[in-house]
Amino acid sequence: MKILHLPGSCLWNYSKSDFEDIFGYFEPDVLLTSDMNRSQKRKIDGNFSYESIHLDEVKSVKQRYIGEEVLLIVEEMDPASRIEMSEIDDREVILLTDLIKEEMDPKSFEYRLVNTSLIEKIKGDIDDLHILSTAIEAGKSPFYEDVKVHGLGLSDDLGDPKIPCVLTGERLHIETLNANKVGISAVPGLGRRFSSQLERHGVRTRSDLCSIDPDDILECDGIGPYRSTKWISSAKAIEESEVYRIEENDLGDKHRIFIDIETDSLNPSVIWHIGVFDDEVGEYEYFLEKKPDKKDRIIKDFLERLEENICKDSVLLAWYGEKFDFEHLENFIRRYAPEKISIWNKVEKEDFMRWTDRHAALPCRSSKLDSVARRLGYKPDITGLDGSDVGRIYSEYMVDEDKEPDWKELKLYGKEDVMEMKFIYDRIVQAPMLYDMGEVEKRYSRK
C-alpha cells in the first residue's frame, strides 16, 4: 500500500494540474490530507480516482482495508472499543495518528515522545503493527521502547517543504518530494528567473518545454547549449519516465571503482563499513569493523586492497562523495594511516551524484541515492533502513557490545548503496541522447 500525505499548509496555491502531477509521480493507493481549506479539498474530491481521506474530518477511528493491509486512522486516546478487531484477523495494520508527537524536555533539551499510552493500548491486540505519525516530520523515526514510530508529517529541509509518501510492507519506505518541484519547476536547475524568460517565449508548462528544440531558447539571456538541452531532455525524462544522456560518457575508458562508507553519524567517530565494487572485474567486496576501538584496522585494510587494484586510469566514485565519503576517508587516513596517504592522493575521485546530474536527464525529483535508483528501476534486496538507522544501530553497539546488531543485514545495506550506483551508471550510459551537444554548440556560436 502506498499512502500519500498532502499537508495543505504548503499546497495553498496548487492547481488541479499540480495535484495531478504529484499523483502521477507517486501513484498512491490512498490520499491523506491535513490542514486543507475547502477550496483545496474541492480540487481533489471528485476529480481523481484515488480515495481521499481528510484527516481533519476523522473524529475518532477510521478503518480502510486495502489488499492484505488495514489502514487504521486514530484520533482519540482510547480507541480500542471502536476498532473492529474481528475484521483485522492476520492482516498487517498501519496505525496512523497525529496524537503521538515529539516534545523537547525543558531540562535535558532532548526530544521525547508523548501520548505513548496509545501505543500500549494498540500493540497488545495487534501482532503485525506499523505506526505512522503525521505530527512527526518525515525522515524522523523515534523509538518508544522497542516500537519505532515513523514520521509522515511535513518535513522542512533548508527551507523547502517536503511532501511525504510511504510504501508499506515488511519494512516501510518513506519517500519525500520537494513541494516546489511540480509542473515546469520540477525540471532541475530551472529557477524563477529562467522560468520567466521561457514564459515570454510561450513556454509555460513542462509539456511546452518538451515540444520545443534547444535552438528555440538559445537566444534567451544566460541560456546556452548545455542548459537548453538539459532542461528539454529533463522535461521529457519526467513526462516519459525515461532516462536520457546529456553528454558523452567520460568515464567509459576509466577503471571505475564505486565505494560507499558507513559511519556512526554525520560527524563520524568511526568508519565501520566500506563497500567496494570494481567495475572492471565485476566484483563486490566489503570491509567491516566489528570492534569499535580498532578504528585504524578497516582503514589500513581498505588502503592495502586499493593499492593492489588501482592503476593510472582508476577513479573512485561515491554518491555525495565530495562532502562525505571522500572527506571523511581522507580525515581518517591522515589520522590512522598517515604513512599511506600517498596511495589515497594518487587516485582520481569523482562525486558520482554530481557526475550523474551533469551527464543525465532523469525522471527523478530527488537527489537521494535510493530514490534515484528506485525511480530508474532498481529492486533493492533490503528496504526500510537508511543511513541514520544503521548509524544509530552501530552507535548503540559501541556503547554496549552485548547489543550485537544483525551484521548480515547491515552488510546487505552497505552493499545496496554501492550496487545502486553501479545500476544508475549502467542505465545512464545505455540511455539514448536526444541532442548532439556538439551540433547545438556550433549553432549557438553562429548566433
Determine the pLDDT at residue 395. 84
The amino acid at 62? K
Determine the pLDDT at residue 158. 63
Q: State the CATH number of the domain containing residue 230.
A: 1.10.150.20
Residue 440, in any domain of the structure: no
In whole angstroms, give the CA distance from residue 267 to residue 40: 42
In whole angstroms, give the CA distance from residue 245 to residue 3: 32
In whole angstroms, give the CA distance from residue 406 to residue 404: 7
- Measured at the CA of 74, the angle between CA 70 and CA 79, to 5 degrees, comes to 100
CA of residue 158 relative to chain centroid, distance: 15
For every residue of 188-254, DSSP letters joined together read TT--HHHHHHHHHTT--SHHHHHTS-GGGGTTSTT--HHHHHHHHHHHHHHHHT--EE-S--TTTTS
Per-residue cell: 150 = 515513523
On whether both 33 and 163 belong to a single domain, the answer is: yes
Q: 108: which residues sit within 8 A by CB, 6+ positions away?
A: none
On whether both 155 and 132 belong to a single domain, the answer is: yes
Quick one: residue 98, left, alpha or beta (phi over 0 = left, psi -120 to 50 = alpha)?
A: alpha
Nearest Cα residue to 433 out of 222, 214, 209, 195 = 214
In whole angstroms, give the CA distance from residue 364 to residue 352: 16
On whether both 281 and 416 belong to a single domain, the answer is: yes
The number of distinct structural domains making up the chain is: 3
Local confidence band at 254 (pLDDT 50, 70, 90 cut-offs): very high
Per-residue cell: 87 = 475484521
How far apart, in Å, do the first and last CA atoms of the chain sit?
A: 53
Cα-trace Rg, the chain: 24
Q: State the CATH number of the domain containing residue 100.
A: 3.60.21.10
Q: What is the mean pLDDT of the chain?
A: 89
Q: Are 243 and 361 in contact (CB under 8 A)?
A: yes
Phi, psi of 291 (to 5 degrees): -110, 105
End residue of a domain, out of 145, 178, 211 = 178
Determine the pLDDT at residue 379. 87
On whether both 119 and 166 belong to a single domain, the answer is: yes
Q: What is the domain extent for residue 236?
A: 183-242
Determine the pLDDT at residue 346. 93
On whether both 32 and 106 belong to a single domain, the answer is: yes
In whole angstroms, give the CA distance from residue 150 to residue 161: 18
CA of residue 122 relative to chain centroid, distance: 30
> 257 pairs with which residues across the strands?
278, 316
On whether both 46 and 159 belong to a single domain, the answer is: yes
Local confidence band at 389 (pLDDT 50, 70, 90 cut-offs): confident
* Pairing outcome for strands 173-178 and 360-361: unpaired
End residue of a domain, out of 150, 178, 206 = 178
Which whole number is the average pLDDT over 430-434? Answer: 95
On whether both 192 and 209 belong to a single domain, the answer is: yes
3-class state of residue 326 by DSSP = helix
On whether both 341 and 304 belong to a single domain, the answer is: yes
For every residue of 347-365, DSSP letters joined together read SEEEEHHHHHHHHEE-S-S
Host H or E run for residue 427: helix 407-429
Per-residue cell: 73 = 486512522
Query: How much of the chain, in percent, has pLDDT values that exceed 70?
Result: 98
Tens-place pLDDT, residues 143-194: 888 888 999 998 876 678 999 999 887 678 888 999 988 999 999 988 878 8
Residue 447, in any domain of the structure: no
Identify the sign of the CA torsion 429, 435, 438, 444.
negative
Nearest Cα residue to 44 out of 25, 22, 70, 75 = 22
Residue 287 has pLDDT above 90, yes or no: yes
pTM listed for this prediction: 0.87
Determine the pLDDT at residue 447. 62
Residue 305, in any domain of the structure: yes
Q: How many residues does the chain have?
A: 447
Nearest Cα residue to 178 out of 149, 203, 155, 153 = 155
Cα dist. 386→41, 139, 172, 417 in Å?
34, 9, 11, 10
Phi, psi of 65 (to 5 degrees): -110, 120
Determine the pLDDT at residue 383. 65
End residue of a domain, out of 126, 149, 178 = 178
In whole angstroms, give the CA distance from residue 116 to residue 106: 19
Per-residue cell: 189 = 536547475
